Amino acid sequence: MIRPFGLSDILLIAEAIRWTLALSAIAFAGGAIGGLAIALARTADARWLRTLAMLFIRLFQGTPLLMQLFLAFFGMNILGLAINPWLAASLALTLHASAFLGEIWRGSIEAVPSGQREAATALGLRYYDRMTSVILPQAARISVAPTVGFLVQLIKGTSLASIIGFTELTRTGQIVNNATFAPFAVFGTVAAFYFLLCWPLSLMARRMETRFARATTR
């Protein structure tokens, strides 16, 4: 039975934004923790740590996000866990975000002039204080714009979780489309919602980039 695409459908899709946001927030929070660990490992003195972090980054940057979602989803089944789209999507997106944020933040840490580390070391500051008081605050300023840029990618990336049955914005669109069979209107609406989420972030990233450029040329 096909019903016409109407306001109630738009509201239904709008309500699904919260699941897209929730999944993005989980992936970003998890990815921030994982990414910091990866970035620190990637810039560590110990060679084995650097190699390990590099392999992790290569693995997740070199495979499609969709495959990572499939592997997390079906992997849980093989491990004998109940299939759970929430858990699988959170896990896959967290690992994915860890790799990308790790790489972005590695670059930011390395962009801090080496004289800063030397001066901190010469003053007797050990690794922890050197990082928290000198290197990371400067790296953070450099990383803000690319980090927000990646967050936009991540929000759009959560749409792939619809394929493993996670009912977020895209999946809700598919469900509505099955009932109304108005694909252009439905997915046009879905796309418009993604745009409303991502566009302000993109603007913010660009503004922060120019502000940072001005601050560093001063």
Partner 1 sequence: MSATPTPADEIAIRMAGINKWYGGYHALRDVNLEVRRGERIVICGPSGSGKSTLIRAINQLEAVQEGQIVVDGIELTAGGHNVDEVRRDVGMVFQQFNLFPHLTILQNCVLAPMKVRGTPRAEAEATARRYLERVRIPEQADKYPAQLSGGQQQRVAIARALCMNPRIMLFDEPTSALDPEMVKEVLDTMIDLAGEGMTMICVTHEMGFARAVADRVIFMDQGQIIEEAAPDTFFDAPRHERTRAFLQQIH
Side-chain-side CA neighbours of residue 175 (13 Å): 15
Cα separation of 179 and 166, whole Å?
18
Q: Is the dihedral of CA 86, 88, 91, 94 positive or negative?
A: negative
> Which of these, 65, 29, 25, lies nearest to 157 by C-alpha position?
65
17, with CB counted inside 10 A (0-12, 13-18, 19+), is: middle
Question: Of 47-55, 95-103, 120-128, 168-176, which part binds partner 1 (CB under 8 A)?
Answer: 120-128
Taking CB under 8 A as the rule, does residue 45 contact partner 1? no
Taking CB under 8 A as the rule, does residue 123 contact partner 1? yes
CB of 123 vs partner 1, minimal distance in Å: 4
Site string for partner 1, 159-198 (x = CB under 8 A): ----------------------------------------
**99-118 residues near partner 1, rule: CB under 8 A:** 113, 115-116, 118
Q: Which amino acid is at 204?
A: M
Taking CB under 8 A as the rule, does residue 134 contact partner 1? yes
Q: Residues 141, 185, 197, 201: which binds partner 1 (CB under 8 A)?
A: 141
Taking CB under 8 A as the rule, does residue 137 contact partner 1? yes
Total residues at interface with partner 1 (CB under 8 A): 19
Cα separation of 135 and 119, whole Å?
11
Q: Residues 14, 44, 125, 185: which binds partner 1 (CB under 8 A)?
A: 125
Taking CB under 8 A as the rule, does residue 119 contact partner 1? yes
Cα separation of 127 and 78, whole Å?
41
Could you list the residues that contact partner 1 (CB under 8 A)? 113, 115-116, 118-126, 129, 133-134, 137-138, 141, 218
